[in-house]
Every structure is written in structure tokens, then in C-alpha cells.
Structure 1
Amino acid sequence: MLNQLARTLGLTTKTSAAKPLIALSFGSRAAWTPRDYAALSKEGFARNPIVHRCVRLISEAAASTPLAVQSAGEGEHPVARLLAQPNPDQSAQEFFETHYGFLQIAGNAYAEVATLDGAPREVFTLRPDRMRVLPGKRGWPDGWEYSANGRKVTFARDRASGRSPILHMRSFHPTDDHYGLSPLEAAAASIDVHNSGGAWAKALLDNAARPSGALVFNAGEGSNLTDDQFDRLKAELMDAYTGPANAGRPMLLEGGLDWKPMAMSPADMDFIEARREAAREIAQAFGVPPMLLGLPGDNTYANYKEANLAFWRQTVLPLVRKSARAFTGWLSPWFENEFEIVADTSALPALAGERTSDWARISEADFLTDAEKRRLLGLPDAS
């Protein structure tokens, strides 16, 4: 009714074409994690604390890095307002946290631009598992298809103008032309080891933290338990000696019965160290120093400060700069005035020590003019 009235009055509306397509999805249970988005996100991000923390650390740190818009024109560029409030439902922090999170979990991140009178006004994130690349005759993507709740929406790019309603960012994948490789997929085996170790420890605790064993009946040659005796003994064991409530309870054995442990002890299996090694491998796949996750036994970094600086320099800032360039190339065809989106690192607390050192070193360089010093420090020319 409202849309019909708007058309009658000659008004235009802007909205996300994919936003109305909402569906609930339920992933299937997997023993060994399949290499697909639903299983990896469920077994990894939703059930593994190391993966969860790695994705949160990267996405939150990257989203907290301000993006600045540099342009030759006077006044604030429209892209700056777009990045400050991408859409009515998300702040800039929430939008980019979701964007970076999808990139870490799926290896792919999609953004959709909604236009009004031919100009971008809103930007939305789209779930990567609902997107499908539509390659053209030459293999290059000609569009994308978004599917949800039995409905599909197709987005086509305009090769002539360079405008595209979809931004598709992807991680490097050596064997796929259209989709990226997620760190979650690279660490899938370590995730299974870590999750299995947790399940084994939980089962051990549920069994009174005792290894399994066998009751041996030795009442003389040719003597065996009757069926009724066997069933009664099994029921007593289940009711009186298993479960955390019966931890440490002494076992009373009748004549001819002897307890023989059968399983290896946790020390023999060394599963705790195996879980720690798996956790370190997961952290390395995401580019997060294990020290930041509180993992013991890793002495690669001298202290936490150095580990945090390496995390920002080697993981967070390259991701933010890659995204800034991608958004610049994606949004540039929509505007006449040239601009560039850059990562503003001037106020990041993690880099405060480096900034102080740079300021001192450049200010002491007597062979540089004041204008050259300002340019090296990333400051605008003095008016």
C-alpha cells in the first residue's frame, strides 16, 4: 500500500534487495567436520573457544581502526558519511565487525550497496553461505545470486560504468577461481583435535574421572556368572559407581571379583598437551599470537606488549588496509570526485609507542624542512 502510494506521488525509496529474504537454517551434526561453511562455523566459531576468541579479536580490533576519506574537494565527502553510518540497523563498528568476521569464518565477505537517485546511500552485509558467484563466458564474475527462504535475487554488475551492487572480498585460495580460503578451513583438523579432546575430558569427568576397566570373575575353573548375576552386577555398577556424583566412592567386590584397569591414563595419552598444541595451530592459522589467548608453553614473543604489537602489524592492519582499498575501488565509480579510503592509525593505542619513536626521530632530523616532516608524519601541510 505504501509502495503504491509512493509510486503514485513520484517518490523513490531505497532499501536492500536481499534484506526481505530471511530464513532460519539448521546445520547438521558432524563427527568429523566437513569443509563447508555451516559445519565449520558450528564446530569452529560456535563450539571452539580458541576459534571464537581469534575471530572476535581480529574482527573487533579491525573494526575499531578508523577509516578516513581523503579527497581533493572541499567539505566532507559523501563516502565519509556512508562509512560513518552504513545503514539504519548497524553502526560503523557493527558493520565492519560483521564484515571482518565473515571474512575470517568463510574466507568471503559480501557487501551490498543500496542507491537513491543513482547515488549510494546505504551499505549492507550479506551472509556468504547464501551467495553464489555467477561467472560469465570468460570465467570472470558477471553477477551474484542471493538465496534465502526459497527465493533468489540476482545482482548484475555493469561492465561499462564499472558499477557493481555487490562487493565481494575474498582471501587467497590457490585452487578456486571465485571463492576464498578461510583460516577456519586451514585449521579444521586442529579444531577437531581440540574439540575431541574436550569431549574426551568431559566424558572422563562424567565417569568419575576414572579410566575404564573390567571386573574379572575368578571363582575357580569352569565357574561362570549366570545371566541374572551378570545383569545384577552390571546394574549395580551403573547405578552406584559411575557418574560425577559417585566420584571416589569405594567399590565393594564380592568373592571372585577383581578390578582390572584397561584404558590408558590421561598422562599416557598426553591429551592435555595435544589440545594445547592444537590450540596453538589454530591461533597460528588466524595470525593471532598464542600469548594473547593465554596459551602456555609459547615463548616466541618476549612479552605481551611485543605480541600485541605483532598482532596489529601483521594481522589487523593488513586486513584493514586491504578492505579500505577494496571499498575505494568498489565505491569510486559511483562518484565523480576522486577519493581514497585509508586506515587512520594515528590514534590507535597499540601503536602509541611506535608513534612516539617516529615523532622523536623525525623531529630531530635537522636536514628536513618543516613541510617534509609534516608529510612524513602524515600531517596536512600548514596553511
Structure 2
Amino acid sequence: MKNPFRLPWRRPAESERVAETKAASGFIAIAHEGRAHWTGRSYAALAREGFMRNPVAHRAVRLISEAAAAVPLLLYEGTGERSEHPLLSLLARPNGRMAGVDFLETLYGHLLLSGNAYVDAVSVGEELRELHLLRPDRVSIREGRDGWPEAYDYRVGNHLRRIAAGEGGLLHLRLFHPLDDHLGFPPLAAAQMALDLSNAAATWNKSLLDNSARPSGALVYQPKEGGNLSADQYDRLKTELDEGYSGPMRAGRPLLLEGGLDWKAMGLSPKDMDFVEAKNGAARDVALAFGVPPMLIGIPGDNTYANYQEANRAFYRLTVLPLIGRTASALSGWLSARFGETLKLVPDLDQVTGLTGERSEVWARVKDADFLTDEEKRQAVGY
């Protein structure tokens, strides 16, 4: 009885298989449509394929996170600045494993690669002692009946910890996502195609070098008197190609052809593909998604900014400071409830090296304003 569940594309049994013949009397090229493979948008996939494999994405994330973490934060209570407060001590040393700069750098890295960052607080009695960052891919949101988050589940292996949402629970920072009510959208996901194109170009280039820097091709056997290669001739030719002409150590060896053999190149050459420009274009798209001027990463062919100083100032104004501002605002509201005070964290712009020229221009204009008193000038420059 025939099996009704046997599929028409099943693999033939040994007795049904047709013996392979190694005939090369002519040349036939069969082209079939390929399907592109794209990296997933999860935190692990973007971190692995972007930060850990792509030099442009790696440098962009480090450039933003390190620049943002290096900007000092000032603490205000009402309109007065506080130079000493338990919150400042906590931010200087959030926990026993991290200093303040390391903590903020990791937080910004989570936001850039995941679109989300989670801060957990550890209290002893009524006193807030430590702040910890939770890896975004280990956190899941539990929605209530009203659709709003009621708790966060943090899972490590088989261990599950449930943390309440709200002022007394976990702090969730997220970037804008147009199609998700609770999770943020990572910038690198917007450049997903450019990221895969850049990685594929590097992989293709490495494979090309491993293959003696030669494009793929075919040996065509076209003897004048006709006939086919015997099985022994076919195996000997294949062995000679593998052992004598493959690999970077054998690059440049001339290929000896005999008996009607001819080499036919298959595929496009690096010049035909415009390899270098395509790779630089993909790198510019990745940098654009993060908001980093390509000039700062060393990508050629981009003259949007007149000089490096102008590009650096645009980088701080358009990318770094907005990221610091939203993070400081979220931390201020969350920690104010913890300390029972109205506290506000503000970046100290006087310590931002990328805005030195801009700050000098402001000071020069205020200095020449004769209609202002010394007290008004001090207020105008932030003192």
C-alpha cells in the first residue's frame, strides 16, 4: 500500500537514484532567483551582527555612549544647585561593579542597540543603596487588563524575578516606536539592510581572498574531436584545482589548461559591482541611523560639513545632548519619588568639549552687551 503522506519531493531511495555522470562536453549556466537573508531585529541579533561584527556600528555606538557618559550631570532642587546630595554620590558609584561613567555608558548602549533600557533600584529599609542595569533581552513586560504594564519579568536561565512597574518599581527608558505601545525602536534596526549589506560585502571580500582573489568561474571542456572527460580525468582535474590553485598562499599562480579546456568567468567583478562605493554607502546609512556625521568615523565621500569642528558640534547638538536630556529627565522623575524631593538632573554644558567654540561666541556676545549688569551677564551664561 502506498503511503498517502509521502511527499512528491521526497529523497529517492538508493535503488532509485540515477548514477552521476561527469560529462563536460559543453557549458550550461543555470540562473535562479536568490532570496536575501536579513538580520533579525532582536537585541541579541543587532548586538551580534552590528556592535560585534560591523566596525561602523561598533564605532558609532561607542562614540555616542562614551561622549554622552562623559558629560557631567548637575543636580538642582528647585532653582538652586546642590553640590552635595546622596543622589550625586549614588550616580558617582551606582553599585559595587560599576563607576558612574561605566553605568551611563552601558545604559546608553542598551538604548542604542535595543531601544530600551531598564534600571533597577536596591534599597535597604527606606534608603536607596544601589542602581543596576538589566539586560534588555532578559526583560519582558506583563500587561494588565487595561493594556498598561503592571510588572516586568526578568529571567536569567531558570530564575524568574517579577518587578512591579511604576514609581516604586523598575525604570524603563525607551526610544520612540510608532507601532509598539511599550517597547522602543532601536536606531540600528532602521539601518538593517545597510548593516547586512556591509557585513555581506566584508564576508564576500574575505571569501574572494581565500579563493586566491579570483571571481568564481567554470572550466569548459570543448575538444575539437568531441567527447567527454572520463571519471578519472574529472577527479584529477578537480583535485589539482583544489590543491594547487585554492587559498591565499597560492594566489597568483598561473592556471595551466590543456586538451580543449577554457576558463569562463561567472558573476560580476568587484569593479562591475562598484564594491568600494557600495560598502561606503552602506556605512554612511548606518552612521546616519545613529546620527553620527560620517566624517567623524572616517567614511570618505561625505562633505556635508565644512570641517571636523563643525561636524563635531552638530554631533553633540543633534545626537548626544538630546539623548542625555531624555535620560536625565527620566532619572530625575524616578529618583525624586525615591528620595521624596523635587530633584532635577541637568547636563553641564560648560564641560562639553565639542561645544567650546559655541560657548566662546556666547561669552563674547554677553561681554560686549553694555546694557547688562554684571549680575545679568552671569545669569545669561548660566551662573
Relative to the length of structure 2, the TM-score reads 0.87
- 1:272 shift after superposition: 1.8
Q: Which secondary structure does the structure 2 equivalent of 1:346 belong to?
A: helix
Number of the residue aligned with 2:4: none
Match of 2:367 in 1: 363
Confirm whether residue 49 of structure 1 aligns to residue 52 of structure 2.
Answer: no
Specify the SS of the correspondent of 2:349.
coil
Letter in 2 for 1:296: P
Task: Give distance in 2, aligned partners of 1:197 and 1:249.
Answer: 25
**Following the alignment from structure 1 to structure 2, what is the Cα–Cα distance between the partners of residues 134 and 119?**
28
- Output the CA distance in 2 between the equivalents of 1:346 and 1:358: 12
Equivalent of residue 217 in structure 2, options 194, 200, 213: 213
Report the Cα distance in structure 1 between the residues aligned to 2:255 and 2:143, rounded to whole angstroms: 68
> Does residue 302 of the first structure (1) align with residue 317 of the second (2)?
no
1:110 corresponding residue in structure 2: 118
Uncovered stretches (5+) of structure 2, i.e. residues with no partner? 1-35
Deviation for aligned residue 1:336: 3.0
- For 1:64, the aligned partner's letter is A
Write the distance in 2 (CA, Å) between the matches of 1:214 and 1:334: 71
CA 1:222–1:118: 2 relative to 1, 3 Å: same
CA distance in 1, matches of 2:38, 2:359: 47
Say which SS state the counterpart of residue 160 (structure 2) adopts. Answer: strand
Q: State how 1:131-210 maps to structure 2 within 5 Å.
A: 131-157=139-165, 163-210=167-214
For the residues of structure 2 that align with 1:305 and 1:188, how far apart are their CA atoms? 29
What is the correspondence of 1:368-379 to structure 2 with a 5 Å cutoff?
Answer: 368-379=372-383
Q: CA RMSD in A?
A: 1.5
After superposing on structure 2, the runs of 4+ consecutive aligned residues of structure 1 that deviate more than 6 Å are none
Aligned twin of 1:85: 93
Contact 1:103 1:171 in 2 (8 A): yes
Q: 1:229 to 1:337 in 2, by over 3 A?
A: same
TM-score by length of 1: 0.87
> What's the counterpart of residue 24 of structure 1?
none
Partner of 1:319: 323
Q: Deviations over 1:253-297 (max 9, x none)?
A: 223222222222111111221111110000000000001110001
In 2, Cα distance between equivalents of 1:37 and 1:319:
19
| Counterpart residue identity of residue 121, structure 2 | V
CA distance in 2, matches of 1:144, 1:297: 46
Q: Identity of counterpart residues, as a percentage?
A: 53
Aligned partners of 1:157 and 1:237: how far apart in 2? 64
CA deviation after TM superposition for structure 1 residue 154, in Å: 0.7
* Alpha-carbon distance between aligned partners in 2 of 1:125 and 1:313, rounded to the nearest angstrom: 26
Q: Deviations over 1:71-106 (max 9, x none)?
A: 258762221111111111100000000000000000
Residue matched to 1:67: 73
Q: Distance in 2 between matches of 1:286 and 1:157?
A: 29
- Deviation readout 1:18-61 (Å, 9 max, x if unpaired): xxxxxxxxxxxx95312212111111111111110010000000
Deviates more, 1:139-148 or 1:173-182: 139-148
SS at structure 2 position matched to 1:113: strand
